[in-house]
Structure 1
Amino acid sequence: MTVTYNLRFDDGQHWRVLAVEVEAFRERCLLRTPAVRPFTARISLCLWFDLLVLQERYGVTPEEILEPILHLERGEPASGVKPATRFRRPPLKGLWHKHWFSARFLAANMLAAMARGDPKAWLLEIVQEGETLTEDAIARIAERFTTRALEDRDAAKQLTGEWIVFLKRDGANHYLCLATHETGDQRVFDKIINVCSRDFPQIGAWIEEAAA
């Protein structure tokens, strides 16, 4: 039987890729990031398919996601990205997620920094009300609302992107798929049960055990 991986986007676009094509893509990635090879058996082919789609549709390189996975394998040494977090509510209870960060998330992180910060206070750090704006002041305002806003979130370990969903079992991480904040928990769960079970046939029971 021919095995395929399918994904339909909200805009109606449908991606259908043969499993052998996903496997070939995986091998190309492993040539570029050989440190992943020792634990490849713990990475679902579903996740490799997600990587392939991200690369082809959005230009996100696989290394942008494989590096956070290596980070997890090394015990999450300090970085600006949020540490892995466990899902607390069904249907994903028992699973974990790790954010991965890409330049495509810069705008969202800057907006989040401003939403949680005090933009008026930031502005008054540089110029007072009624003061004439100089070129230097404009440059410093731009730097405060962009670079320093990101640095603030980095220092607070609040840089966010999208998720790597994984399961901790027998002292090792099993990497299942990628997801976004908008995907919906049930949709992520159904994807794991229906697709990741090809690589991990007992995934449903594993999730139940982890959630107990």
Structure 2
Amino acid sequence: MPEPLFSIKHEDGRDMSDELNAFARTIGLERIAPGRYSILLVLSLFGGMASGRMNPAVVVQEIEALEGLRTSRFKKPIQNKHPPLQGLWHKHFYDAGLKSLAMNFKKGLDKFKIPLFLQRMKEAREAGVERYVTLEDVDALATDMVQGNLARLAERQAMSGEWLMFAEHEGRRYYLCLATHDSSQHDGIRTQIDEICCKEFPFLKTILNDLETRP
């Protein structure tokens, strides 16, 4: 029987160690980054799966990309420059929810507009004719505006999503928890990192405290 990775109990006193240990192995965390992921991340992924809000695979795939095992459709990792998460890194992942879809839809529209519409207007101008959008055009234009722009963002590795938080230490990456773009939630995330992740990975205290005390 594999050696337990960690021990944890539910708030109702039920021992969840076996279930969470098996979960971490099943989704591939222990294979990809053995000993370099927090129980906080495991709990977030387990809770997301149990509630039906997310598929843990989308996060695991980004960890694989960070470990050089696959490519990613999303932005390259970014180091946080401002407290309370200053010094840590984040990598986008796509959770397939309406929030991420809306965010990428707006980003694609701002960046690319509607290429098919622009192309057809250009063709009309060059032909010296007036052309109006018809009902027959709507389906193709809507597809280009949504699916087309999402594909263009993915091709450029520019899609945005929620955050996978991690730290870098001695040339290795340590995966901590999930976060959002909403900075109003970052104080709470930092508290969780201080209370859980810093105990698992003591070097985090140095990373976080050194940056906080710099003039």
**1:67 corresponds to 2:67:** no
Equivalent residues of 2:73, 2:156 under 8 A apart: yes
Larger gyration radius, structure 1 or structure 2: 2
Partner of 2:45: 51
Q: Kindly state the Cα deviation for residue 162 of structure 1 after the two structures are TM-superposed.
A: 0.7
Partner of 1:207: 208
Partner of 1:133: 134
Inter-CA distance 55–78: structure 2 relative to 1 (3 Å threshold): closer
Secondary structure of 1:125's counterpart equals helix
Question: Where does 1:52-131 land on structure 2 (aligned, <5 Å)?
Answer: 52-74=46-68, 78-104=71-97, 105-119=100-114, 123-126=117-120, 131=132
For residues 79 and 43 of structure 1, the distance between their equivalents in structure 2, rounded to whole angstroms, comes to 19
Q: Kindly state the Cα deviation for residue 205 of structure 1 after the two structures are TM-superposed.
A: 2.1
Secondary structure of 1:146's counterpart equals helix
Equivalent residues of 2:27, 2:56 under 8 A apart: no
Q: Kindly state the Cα deviation for residue 95 of structure 1 after the two structures are TM-superposed.
A: 0.7
Identity of aligned residues (%): 23
TM-score, normalised to structure 1, is 0.77
Equivalent residues of 1:22, 1:48 under 8 A apart: no
Task: From the two aligned structures, give the one with the greater strand fraction.
Answer: 1
Please, which runs of 5 or more residues in structure 2 have no aligned partner?
Answer: 1-6, 125-129
Please, which runs of 5 or more residues in structure 1 have no aligned partner?
Answer: 6-15
Q: Kindly state the Cα deviation for residue 21 of structure 1 after the two structures are TM-superposed.
A: 1.8
Equivalent residues of 2:65, 2:71 under 8 A apart: no
Matched residue pairs, number? 197
